[in-house]
């Protein structure tokens, strides 16, 4: 019998969501559904559900570093994503690790504020994120609110979202996938900018559901998995958008909430 082909390995560096819908939990579910082996480094523990974040406690930067190094020592990481990093000290530690080893393409989901309104990035960590993490990314995946912060502009239209994607890509010298899920309209349009003259729009019909908790994490995790599988960036974005749209369409009731369905 021929040995089976080794699974590609993806690493997520993010916070834990006790509600299971976002963060590390969503990332690992997505990795598995897309056929890659998921590894993780947990940056903080949150007490939350889709309605609210009621507690956050950071993991020490020393332990975050140890987790990343343990994964690196044990697995050939094909692609990496960061999500909730929370503090400047953790950001510094993560940046040092990522700069010192081979972690494949880096997807940075610049998690700042939860849908419920809770801050997921301390004020002093915003500048650390801008300085230490964003410039080393392969691609950034800000939602509309995060894109406004990173581009220092107001976004209410698709044209403004396109302009913001260009500004962010140029400012941090990386590709930017600005997500348009919070814009009004029948379709959800995301904008990928890889340079001044390379702007690609990805469109899908808006799916009306009661809740979309975890869609941002799921999207960035699906993009990371696609890159781990060797897909080029434009193809990986299209694949990730298809995956998250399907997960929203197939959402299932879980008690009082609607949860994304990760089956493919």
Active site residues: 179, 212, 214-217
Are 124 and 88 in contact, with CB atoms under 8 Å apart? yes
Are 79 and 224 in contact, with CB atoms under 8 Å apart? yes
Tokens standing for residue 256: 């009082």
Alpha-carbon span 11 to 17, nearest angstrom: 17
Tokens standing for residue 244: 């998250």
Instruction: Answer left, alpha or beta for residue 247, where phi above 0 means left and psi between -120 and 50 means alpha.
Output: alpha
Q: Which helix (H) or strand (E) holds 241?
A: helix 233-249
Residue 113: is it exposed, middle or buried by C-beta count within 10 angstroms (0-12/13-18/19+)?
Answer: middle
Calculate Rg over the CA atoms of the chain: 17
Are 143 and 179 in contact, with CB atoms under 8 Å apart? yes
HSE, CB side, 13 Å, CA atoms: give it for residue 162. 11
Strand partners, 202: 190
């Amino acid at each position: 019998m021929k040995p089976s082909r080794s699974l590609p390995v993806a690493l997520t560096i993010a916070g834990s969501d006790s509600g299971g819908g976002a963060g590390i939990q969503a990332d690992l579910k997505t990795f598995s559904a897309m056929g890659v082996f998921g590894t993780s480094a947990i940056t903080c523990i949150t007490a939350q559900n889709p309605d609210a974040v009621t507690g956050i406690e950071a993991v020490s930067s020393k332990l975050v570093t140890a987790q990343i190094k343990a994964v690196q020592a044990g697995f050939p990481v094909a692609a990496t994503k960061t999500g909730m990093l929370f503090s400047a000290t953790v950001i510094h530690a993560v940046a040092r690790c990522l700069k010192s080893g081979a972690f494949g393409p880096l997807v940075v989901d610049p998690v700042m504020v939860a849908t419920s309104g809770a801050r997921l990035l301390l004020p002093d960590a915003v500048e650390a994120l801008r300085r230490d993490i964003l410039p080393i990314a392969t691609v950034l995946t800000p939602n509309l609110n995060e894109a406004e912060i990173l581009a220092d502009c107001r976004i209410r239209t698709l044209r403004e979202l396109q302009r913001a994607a260009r500004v962010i890509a140029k400012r941090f010298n990386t590709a930017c996938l600005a997500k348009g899920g919070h814009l009004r309209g029948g379709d959800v349009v995301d904008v990928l900018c890889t340079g001044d003259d390379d702007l690609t729009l990805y469109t899908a019909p808006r799916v009306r559901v009661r809740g979309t908790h975890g869609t941002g994490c799921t999207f960035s995790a699906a993009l990371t998995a696609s890159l781990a599988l060797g897909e080029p960036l434009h193809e990986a974005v299209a694949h990730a958008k298809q995956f998250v749209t399907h997960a929203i369409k197939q959402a299932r009731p879980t008690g009082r909430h609607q949860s994304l369905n990760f089956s493919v």
